[in-house]
């Protein structure tokens, strides 16, 4: 699953450059030009990483950071702060802003993309790996294979993507709309009920060979992969 990076930067030229380079690295990229737009976009689709400028119009970078940390869906999202030299760097260095890393402008795109990779690897190991293991389930993205308890599980392409996404965020609850956006894409019109159908198939496939249902249905909220509950 392609990590979704949200870039929050009010300088158009820099935003464009970041968009271009992150896209080239294979990330899905969203760009917000101010703090308010960033919060709306993060609410619509939870990013896997946020690159956040410190000095922003409307809502400041630090306030965006605070609000992202205050919301369940974005509480753990990694944030890389962009600062100009001399801009309260000491405070950011202390990272009492809740940011995971910071980069001082001007920076090279090579440096920034290296930081992005490092933060994603540290915080969400699953995003950088070809293979993720959660409990007794192993998903191999290169070979396109899934095993549970050592037994091969056969999944359709949609169920595979759905499981891949859930395995990247074990324990986290996703609404049907969030799963639609992440797995089907936000530009595709599919009814929310479709998610239930595919979750049903995924469940059936996973539970055929092992005890315990790893997919938790959270009433009126959505689904999560929860092996402790299985």
Judged by the rule CB under 5 A, the positions of this chain that interact with Ca ion are 10, 53, 55
Nearer of residues 51 and 137 to Ca ion, judged by Cβ: 51
Nearer of residues 17 and 227 to Ca ion, judged by Cβ: 17
Question: From the CB of 55, what's the least distance to Ca ion, in Å?
Answer: 4
- For tokens 């990229």, the residue is 29
- Whole-number Å distance between alpha carbons of 221 and 224: 10
Q: Please write down the long-range contacts of 134-142, taking CB distance under 8 Å and 24 or more positions apart.
A: 134/167, 134/170, 134/214, 134/225, 134/227, 135/214, 135/227, 135/230, 136/210, 136/227, 137/163, 137/167, 137/206, 137/214, 137/227, 139/163, 139/164, 139/167
Question: From the CB of 185, what's the least distance to Ca ion, in Å?
Answer: 30
Nearer of residues 55 and 230 to Ca ion, judged by Cβ: 55
Question: From the CB of 91, what's the least distance to Ca ion, in Å?
Answer: 16
Question: From the CB of 124, what's the least distance to Ca ion, in Å?
Answer: 27
Nearer of residues 15 and 120 to Ca ion, judged by Cβ: 15
């Amino acid at each position: 699953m392609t990590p979704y990076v949200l870039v929050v930067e009010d300088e158009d030229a820099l935003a464009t450059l970041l968009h271009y380079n992150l896209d080239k690295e294979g990330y899905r990229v969203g760009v917000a030009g101010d703090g308010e737009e960033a919060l709306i976009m993060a609410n619509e689709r939870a990013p896997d990483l946020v690159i956040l400028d410190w000095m922003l119009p409307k809502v400041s970078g630090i306030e965006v950071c605070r609000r992202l940390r205050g919301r369940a869906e974005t509480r753990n999202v990694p944030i890389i702060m962009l600062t100009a030299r001399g801009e309260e760097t000491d405070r950011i260095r202390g990272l009492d802003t809740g940011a995971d890393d910071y980069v001082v402008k001007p920076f090279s795109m090579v440096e920034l993309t290296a930081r992005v990779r490092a933060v994603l690897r540290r915080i969400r190991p699953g995003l950088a790996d070809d293979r993720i293991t959660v409990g007794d389930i192993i998903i191999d993205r290169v070979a396109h294979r899934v095993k549970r308890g050592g037994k091969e599980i056969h999944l359709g392409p949609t169920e595979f993507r759905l499981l891949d996404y859930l395995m990247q965020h074990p324990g986290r609850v996703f609404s049907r709309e969030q799963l639609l956006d992440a797995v089907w894409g936000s530009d595709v019109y599919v009814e929310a009920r479709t998610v239930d159908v595919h979750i049903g198939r995924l469940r059936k496939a996973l539970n055929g060979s092992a005890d315990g249902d790893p997919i938790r249905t959270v009433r009126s909220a959505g689904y999560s992969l929860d092996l402790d509950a299985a």
